[in-house]
């Protein structure tokens, strides 16, 4: 018995495969699932089972959960509330539970110099306004408005405003978010 979820999964599989520019044969080679099986799944002539769904999802770089999800948020607009701590204000720009976390941070200049942190993960930052000092290990880098930096968080790191407040867009993986946002 076909359900709306089956139809949704079929259309998502087809759309992702086409978005990647892959033929049925290419996805078959990558996943180990036969091209005719993939075609029958996409067209509704074969039922969807976990033994084929899992390798297809893996090769399409999507989780099974994402393929079957039906719970779209009612409101896609996020209205961030500022969270204040000494020297920095944060606005979380992504939904809780997202695999990547986007945060706007306003760093205030001051005598307090942040302590470099080390944790698993990877950070990306883009300076929206002002100038910041990015400390990476022994290096101190000046990052101006319109410039960005990307780095492993296994290097001791911290960010501080220079001269005046600086607004920075940070994109953090889950490990970085847990370290930077749990103050």
pLDDT band at 89 (very low <50, low <70, confident <90, very high): very high
Residue 49 lies inside a defined structural domain of this protein = yes
Provide the domain count of the chain: 2
105 and 170, same domain (yes or no): yes
Average of pLDDT values for 141-155? 95
Query: What is the C-alpha to C-alpha distance for residues 57 and 73, in angstroms, rounded to an integer?
Result: 22
Q: What is the pLDDT of residue 175?
A: 60
Residue 62 lies inside a defined structural domain of this protein = yes
Q: Do the Cβ atoms of 122 and 136 come closer than 8 Å?
A: no
101 and 129, same domain (yes or no): yes
Q: What is the pLDDT of residue 95?
A: 79
Residue 76 lies inside a defined structural domain of this protein = no
Q: What is the pLDDT of residue 181?
A: 54
Q: Which of 16, 37, 68 is the last residue of a domain?
A: 68
Chain center to CA of 183 = 21
Average of pLDDT values for 52-74? 83
34 and 108, same domain (yes or no): no
Query: What is the C-alpha to C-alpha distance for residues 153 and 149, in angstroms, rounded to an integer?
Result: 12
Residue 115 lies inside a defined structural domain of this protein = yes
Q: Do the Cβ atoms of 34 and 78 come closer than 8 Å?
A: no
* The pair of three-digit structure tokens given for residue 102, joined into one six-digit string: 């986007």
Q: What is the pLDDT of residue 74?
A: 58
Strands (E) in 41-180, as ranges, are 83-85, 88-92, 100-107, 122-129, 131-136, 139-144, 148-152, 157-161, 166-173
Q: What is the pLDDT of residue 23?
A: 93
For 94-137, write each residue's pLDDT tens digit. Answer: 877 777 789 999 999 986 778 898 988 889 999 999 999 999 99
Angle at 125 between CA 120 and CA 127, to 5 degrees: 155
Give the structural domain span for 52.
Answer: 4-68
pLDDT band at 145 (very low <50, low <70, confident <90, very high): very high
pLDDT band at 86 (very low <50, low <70, confident <90, very high): confident
Sign of the dihedral through C-alpha 73, 79, 81, 87:
positive
Residue 77 lies inside a defined structural domain of this protein = no
**Tokens 């393929």 — which residue?**
67
pTM of the entire structure?
0.62
Q: Do the Cβ atoms of 64 and 71 come closer than 8 Å?
A: no
Average of pLDDT values for 25-42? 93
Residue 59 has pLDDT above 60, yes or no: yes
pLDDT band at 3 (very low <50, low <70, confident <90, very high): confident
H-helix or E-strand containing 18? helix 4-19
26 and 87, same domain (yes or no): no
96 and 151, same domain (yes or no): yes
14 and 60, same domain (yes or no): yes
Q: What is the pLDDT of residue 172?
A: 84
pLDDT band at 70 (very low <50, low <70, confident <90, very high): confident
Residue 127 lies inside a defined structural domain of this protein = yes
C-alpha to C-alpha distances, 127 to 11, 89, 106, 142, nearest whole angstrom: 39, 15, 10, 11
């Amino acid at each position: 018995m076909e359900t709306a979820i089956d139809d949704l999964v079929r259309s998502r599989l087809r759309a992702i495969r086409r978005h990647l520019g892959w033929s049925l044969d290419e996805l078959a080679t990558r996943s180990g699932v036969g091209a005719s099986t993939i075609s029958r799944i996409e067209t509704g002539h074969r039922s969807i089972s976990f033994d084929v769904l899992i390798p297809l999802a893996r090769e399409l770089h999507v989780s099974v959960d994402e393929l079957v999800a039906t719970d779209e948020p009612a409101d896609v607009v996020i209205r961030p509330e500022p969270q204040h701590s000494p020297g920095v204000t944060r606005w979380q720009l992504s939904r809780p539970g997202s695999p990547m976390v986007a945060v706007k941070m306003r760093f205030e200049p001051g005598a307090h110099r942040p302590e470099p942190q080390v944790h698993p993960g990877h950070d990306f930052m883009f300076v929206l306004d002002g100038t910041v000092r990015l400390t990476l290990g022994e290096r101190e880098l000046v990052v101006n408005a319109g410039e960005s930096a990307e780095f492993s968080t296994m290097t001791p790191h911290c960010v501080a405003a220079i001269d005046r407040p600086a607004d920075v867009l940070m994109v953090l993986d889950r490990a970085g978010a847990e370290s930077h946002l749990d103050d």
